[in-house]
Amino acid sequence: MSIANLLRHISSKHVRFQKAQTFMSIAGICLGVAAIVSIGIVNKSILRSFEDSFINSTGRAALQVTGAQSGFPEAILEKVQTVPGVEYAVPVVETDGLLSKGKERSMMILGVDVLVDSQVRSYSLAEEDADIPDPLLFLAKPDSILVTRTMADREGIKIDQKIAVETVQGTREFRVRGILNPEGPAKVMGGNLALMDIYAAQLAFGKEGRIDRVDVSLLRGEKLETVKQRIEAALPAGYTVETPIGRTRQIESMLSNFQTGLDLVSFFAIIVGMYLIYNAVSISIVRRRKEIGILRALGATRGQVMRLFLGETLFISIIASALGVGLGILFAESIVGILGKIISQMYVRTAVTGISITWQYPVLGIVCGVVASLAAAVLPVLAGSRISPVSAIRSVPWSEEGFLTGRRLNTASATCILLAAAVFCLYRYADWTPLFRSTSFLFSSQLFLLLGMSLFMPTFLKGFISLFHRLPLLRHNSMGMLAGLNLRKNLNRNAVAVAAIFFGISVFVNSAGYVHSSKESVMTWLDAVVRADIIVSDGHPSSSTNAQTVPMPLDMWQDIEKVPGVLSADPWRKLYMDYNGNRVLLSIIDMVRRAEYSHFMVTKGDEKKLLGQLARRDNVVVSEPFASRFRVGPGDTITLPTPTGLVRFGVSAVVVDYLYDNGTVYLDLDTFQRHWGDKLADQFSVRVKPGENIVQVRDAIQKKLGGNRKLFVLPVQEFKDEIRKTMDQTFIFNYALSVVTMAIACFGIIVTLLASVLERTREIGILRSIGMLRRQVSGVVVLESILMGIAGGILGCLAGIVTGWINLEGAFRANYSSAAEYFIPYGSILWALIMSAGLSALAGIYPARRAAKTDVVEALTYE
Amino acid sequence: MNRKPAQETGNKLWCVGCMVITVVLFFTVSAQAMSGRDVYEKVHQVRSRMLDRKTEASMALFDKGGGKRTRTLTEYSKKADPEAYKVLVVFNSPPDLKGVGFLMYAHTFADRDLWAYFPEYRRIRRIPVTSQDDSFFGSDFSYDDFGGPPNLDDYKFSILREDNFDGKPCYVVEVTPKIRRKYTRYVAWVAKDLWIHLKIDYYQDKEIYRAGVFRNIRIVDGIATPFKLDMENRKTGHRTELTVESIKYHTNFPDELFTQRSLERGGR
């Protein structure tokens, strides 16, 4: 008997006759693989879009010099130009713009010295790369702007047309002097780009005398590393000299937490898929026990039986994985835009327009699908291979208390739970090595916990059914009794289906707890620090920490204070900067004015002395994530890069802050202006005079200042509501994960119940022949399903609370040292229980209908 | 007796013939002896003489769709010893471009500084010398076209053939830069008697990317001067027509006219 023959004659028959079961197994693995492939492709596509943008926007530039986000003096350009080995050094101003009319689309505005820029970038204003009727007019007029053909086509923009763009000076009209063909820089950000002469861009966006970047090309034969070192030596400290690809790596590092989170979604999905495979193979083995016995009696070895079942699994998993790859590509296409938008809101502007498929993720998906399926099948296959030929042929009931049940299972469960605790303790306290501080390490703690609790499932289910039988309501109810007995009959198999539900619910409650606690912590913090009555901002409140804003002139606070009813207005400025290779947020406020009505949530340091230490002094306050990441506290000093070089600042306190997870540094406005020379603001906090109507004052501000600029003037409650909505958006993938895992778990219940119904054909026939009605038969099956759902739901909720706490503790306390408090999501738990019972009931309908349709005569002759 | 005069006549004819042949040979040999470099030495002399001047000109730019934009400009230049020169170009119209200027300061024929001025920015901007072949303010001429004669040592010259252009006998000379330029070579039709360009084709590898024709040649102050200059960009289909409205040589402008301050004030 060769394996090929066995597969051809035996396995193919089962696949044909158990279509529903085969379909469910394929669907489970297919979804898991689809999650891996889609998330992998989307992650790669987003990074690829950054890489393309950098390469397209840098042209021949081999190196890029960057400094503080506020820009740096033009004199730096001259220093770079004179470095030996530098062929060209060209300045760039890079900023965000917003089309004021139409769809109010945001775009990147690139200001370049068009007289020089063609030396580095592959375009020229008078060549065929662009349609610019009068390049001299473009150069001579500060209101000139070029748009890409992609943007012109999309927005219906024509040459010589005026477009309104949000600038620092308010809404300004620019004349489109030409259209860039989609080559070189015009491909940046998916063509969502406008090009201006650098001096026009400086005027419009409040960057007079400053530039954001210097792009450097090298003389032929010069070594990149040598010139890089020479430039670094020629510049004051605090400037970054990096290759364009190196900048992609910076982005990659910035997005790593977010992308790891996404990877976890796919990992969870494949784990639930493994439950499904485990279940399907177990059921198959139980149902084909007699066949296994005959094969063994005919001389098949245990190895051959194992290979037969593993071969079947391999075959199914290959088909499922291949389908999963296709589905994953479709998923990727549909979610790439949403993900790009979230990354733009939370981190850095991206314009990922499509997916880029490489062989890497489809192959990874197939390998994961196949390996996970085989791994899930190993245990039931091992159990199947141990079936004795005699007992199988005589139809002696197969003991459920076999291979991995009872005491062994409980011991394994306890070991896994202890391991989970040990791993978490290492993560939480042994922070001397980066290995223990990785997200995957924390994740493994959760995984051990879930695995341990899954192994405990048969014992739990047994106890649950006993408890169920004791309920007075069900003690005399035959349907309830039958359902309980049926569940107990195939305890191990049912436990796996329950474990799948358990897993899905635990992921749901975990997410809900994490999201709820995160939101509560952030809102508590927001209530403490945002004490103004009205917030005036240059961008949507959701953009409070991202880059898609056009700042306002700092002295606008004076105009706001002139509005009747306004008590005070004080500015807030935000800038991102590079600190020790990490992107951190510099948050600038007027300490004296802010102290009148708002305070920091100080965790380390003396709050009473804070104002004296910060106002007009070279001292800063750092957030908990910053303090934790860079190991600083009150009394320490940090050196920050400013446009004029490195400056040392004393750390006065550590505060709770959720503005930016990489870390925030708070600085007094006066100190900031002294070192940075920046006179812009991103937001104004406005207090209203006592007794004044906030809405009326809001309207008055909007009327006075919103005429020539796009201004968001929101009463503070609306502002907080907007922040809450934005947070909900950022957790969209947590919700998606719950949906995927629950869907796969439902497949598990359907497969289990279908197998159970088929197995009990004769029993159902007998029950029908002694007078049981069809609806009673289906009622029993649905009740079984509901019981499984509730059992999985209860344990899932417990596990979800624990893993949610681990998540929060890990992500906030250990990783960012933030004082986030865990809130049990009672509402979500109630939902989870209703959902587990409800979805299970739904999943039970199809097997119940199959059971109800059982023909009595055929069933009684069923062997 | 009768044979003598005939013999004398024959001798004379022989002598005349020999002289004619000698003269023809002399001129042929001397013409063939003229190298591409020799031709450009003469072109260089003429262009150097042209440097001391004031030109009023109008510039018409035609796009490939037939659109036309016109502007007027004034060009001032001055030769400085031993070989440096200075050029200032100021746009007078249209109003949007009034005051836009360009200053070239050649320390030697090989070493030049270029600046541009845009009044609305109130800012002088340096143009890298490597941009000398780029478009001169959006026209199809280059910054280099508005400069003085080139440094001959930076080029290789070879006469391709002799030709007639616009009824004038020309040397067709191939000029190949030794240093990296935007063009790989150019072929120029140099009028034999005037030593000025009548036609020029700039090549990028095997393709002509820019082609110029110089017509309406008039002698002004003893210097042959084209009054109509046409330059076409073959890649974009864009064309620029420069018409000299008036020109005056030997102007001997003061050095103060060729400073950045003067550039800011539009040549005043």
Taking CB atoms and an 8 Å limit, are B138 and A126 in contact across chains?
A: yes
**Chain A contact residues (CB < 8 Å to B):** 88, 113, 115-116, 118-119, 124-128, 132-142, 199-200, 203
CB A441 within 8 A of CB A423: yes
Residues A705 and A780 occupy one common structural domain: no
Residue B53 predicted with pLDDT over 50: yes
Q: How confident is the model at residue A129 (pLDDT cuts 50, 70, 90)?
A: low
Residues A685 and A731 occupy one common structural domain: no
Q: How far apart are CA A492 and CA A488, in angstroms?
A: 9
Residues A753 and A694 occupy one common structural domain: no
Taking CB atoms and an 8 Å limit, are B125 and A115 in contact across chains?
A: yes
**Residue A608 φ then ψ, to 5°:** -65, -35
Residues A702 and A737 occupy one common structural domain: no
Residue finishing a domain among A242, A273, A288: A242
Closest residue in B to A88 (Cα) is B128
Q: How confident is the model at residue A101 (pLDDT cuts 50, 70, 90)?
A: low
Residues A649 and A543 occupy one common structural domain: yes
**Residue A597 φ then ψ, to 5°:** -140, -5
Q: Is residue A796 part of a domain?
A: yes
Residues A746 and A656 occupy one common structural domain: no
Give the residue-averaged pLDDT of A788-815. 83
Measure in Å the smallest separation between the Cα of B77 and chain A Cα atoms: 22
Taking CB atoms and an 8 Å limit, are B119 and A126 in contact across chains?
A: no
Taking CB atoms and an 8 Å limit, are B121 and A137 in contact across chains?
A: no
Q: Is residue A478 part of a domain?
A: yes
Residues A863 and A763 occupy one common structural domain: yes
Taking CB atoms and an 8 Å limit, are B233 and A126 in contact across chains?
A: yes
Which residues on A lie below 8 Å from B63 (Cβ)? 133
Expressed as residue numbers, the domain containing A616 is 539-710
Which residues on A lie below 8 Å from B123 (Cβ)? 199
Q: Is residue A774 part of a domain?
A: yes
Q: How far apart are CA A585 and CA A600, in angstroms?
A: 16
Closest residue in A to B127 (Cα) is A115
Instruction: Name the class of domain B36-264.
Output: mainly beta
Number of domains in chain A: 4
**Residue A143 φ then ψ, to 5°:** -90, 15
Mean confidence (pLDDT) of chain A: 80
Per residue in A515-539, pLDDT (tens digit) is 888 888 888 888 888 888 999 987 6
Which residues on A lie below 8 Å from B67 (Cβ)? 133
SS3 call for A561: helix
Taking CB atoms and an 8 Å limit, are B61 and A134 in contact across chains?
A: yes
Picking from B67, B96, B131, the nearest residue to A137 by CB comes out as B96
Per residue in A276-295, pLDDT (tens digit) is 677 677 767 766 777 777 88
Angle between helices A774-808 and A439-455 (to 10 degrees): 150
Q: How far apart are CA A88 and CA B130, in angstroms?
A: 10
Residue finishing a domain among A177, A211, A242: A242
Residue finishing a domain among A710, A743, A777: A710
Taking CB atoms and an 8 Å limit, are A135 and B125 in contact across chains?
A: no
Q: Is residue A430 part of a domain?
A: no
Give the residue-averaged pLDDT of B10-38. 57
Map A20-76 to HEC letters: HHHHHHHHHHHHHHHHHHHHHHHHHHHHHHHHHHHHHHHCCCCEEEECCCCCEECHH
Residues A659 and A697 occupy one common structural domain: yes
Q: How confident is the model at residue B1 (pLDDT cuts 50, 70, 90)?
A: very low
Which residues on A lie below 8 Å from B235 (Cβ)? 127-128
Per residue in B208-256, pLDDT (tens digit) is 989 999 999 999 988 999 999 999 998 888 899 999 999 999 998 998 9
Residues A573 and A689 occupy one common structural domain: yes
Residue A151 predicted with pLDDT over 90: no
Angle between helices A732-759 and A774-808 (to 10 degrees): 150
Picking from A88, A126, A200, the nearest residue to B135 by CB comes out as A126
**A-B contacts at Cβ under 8 angstroms:** 75
Torsion angle of C-alpha atoms A696, A699, A700, A701, degrees rounded to 10: 130
Taking CB atoms and an 8 Å limit, are A136 and B123 in contact across chains?
A: no
Q: How far apart are CA A280 and CA A526, in angstroms?
A: 50
Give the residue-averaged pLDDT of B171-180. 91
Q: How confident is the model at residue A853 (pLDDT cuts 50, 70, 90)?
A: confident
Q: How confident is the model at residue B7 (pLDDT cuts 50, 70, 90)?
A: low
Residue A321 predicted with pLDDT over 70: yes
Torsion angle of C-alpha atoms A244, A249, A253, A255, degrees rounded to 10: 70
Picking from A134, A137, A142, the nearest residue to B121 by CB comes out as A142
Taking CB atoms and an 8 Å limit, are A124 and B236 in contact across chains?
A: no
pLDDT of residue B22: 47
Which residues on B lie below 8 Å from A133 (Cβ)? 63, 67, 69
This complex has an ipTM of 0.79
DSSP string, chain B: --HHHHHHHHHHHHHHHHHHHHHHHHHHHHHHH--HHHHHHHHHHHHHHHTSEEEEEEEEEE-TTS-EEEEEEEEEEEE-SSS-EEEEEEEEESGGGTT-EEEEEEEETTEEEEEEEETTTTEEEEE-GGGTTSBSTTSSSBTGGGS----GGGEEEEEEEEEEETTEEEEEEEEEESS--SSSEEEEEEETTT-SEEEEEEEETTEEEEEEEEEEEEEETTEEEEEEEEEEETTTTEEEEEEEEEEEE-----GGGGSHHHHHTT--
Q: How confident is the model at residue B5 (pLDDT cuts 50, 70, 90)?
A: low
Query: Of the spans A813-827, B107-121, B210-224, which averages the highest pLDDT?
Result: B210-224
**Residues with Cβ within 8 Å of residue A222, at least 6 apart in sequence:** A85
pLDDT of residue A545: 45
**Chain B contact residues (CB < 8 Å to A):** 61, 63, 67, 69, 71, 91, 96-97, 100, 116, 118-121, 123, 125, 127-128, 130-131, 134-135, 137-140, 233, 235-236, 238
Residues A163 and A230 occupy one common structural domain: yes
More confident residue, B169 or A255: B169
Residue B189 predicted with pLDDT over 90: yes
Single out the residue of A740, A721, A3 nearest to residue A335, CA to CA. Answer: A740
Tell me the CA distances in angstroms from B125 to A649, B168, B264, one per residue in order. Answer: 38, 42, 11
Picking from A125, A140, A199, the nearest residue to B96 by CB comes out as A140
Give the residue-averaged pLDDT of A472-484. 71
Residue B128 predicted with pLDDT over 70: yes
- Would you kindly state where each structural domain of chain B is located, as residue ranges? 36-264
Residue A763 predicted with pLDDT over 80: no
Residues A580 and A697 occupy one common structural domain: yes
Written as six digits, the tokens of A838 are 């409800």
Q: How far apart are CA A198 and CA A208, in angstroms?
A: 10
More confident residue, A367 or A191: A367
CB A793 within 8 A of CB A837: yes
Residue A255 predicted with pLDDT over 90: no
Q: Is residue A825 part of a domain?
A: yes
Which residues on B lie below 8 Å from A116 (Cβ)? 127-128, 131
Partners of A73 in the beta sheet?
A210
Best mutation site among B118, B182, B209 for testing chain A: the one with the most A CBs within 10 Å? B118
CB B181 within 8 A of CB B81: no
- Taking the alpha carbons at both ends of chain B, their separation in whole angstroms is 85
Q: Is residue A836 part of a domain?
A: yes
Residue B60 predicted with pLDDT over 70: yes
Residues A167 and A279 occupy one common structural domain: no
Measure in Å the smallest separation between the Cα of B97 and chain A Cα atoms: 7
Residue A150 predicted with pLDDT over 50: yes
Single out the residue of B199, B202, B201 nearest to residue B215, CA to CA. Answer: B199
Lowest mean pLDDT among A68-72, A84-88, A250-254, B110-114: A250-254
Residue B170 predicted with pLDDT over 90: yes
Q: How far apart are CA B59 and CA B65, in angstroms?
A: 18
Q: Is residue A443 part of a domain?
A: no
Q: Is residue A513 part of a domain?
A: yes
Written as six digits, the tokens of A706 are 């919103």
Taking CB atoms and an 8 Å limit, are B128 and A118 in contact across chains?
A: no
Which residues on A lie below 8 Å from B236 (Cβ)? 126-128
Residue B47 predicted with pLDDT over 70: yes
Torsion angle of C-alpha atoms A671, A674, A678, A684, degrees rounded to 10: 30
Residue A231 predicted with pLDDT over 70: yes
Residue B15 predicted with pLDDT over 60: no
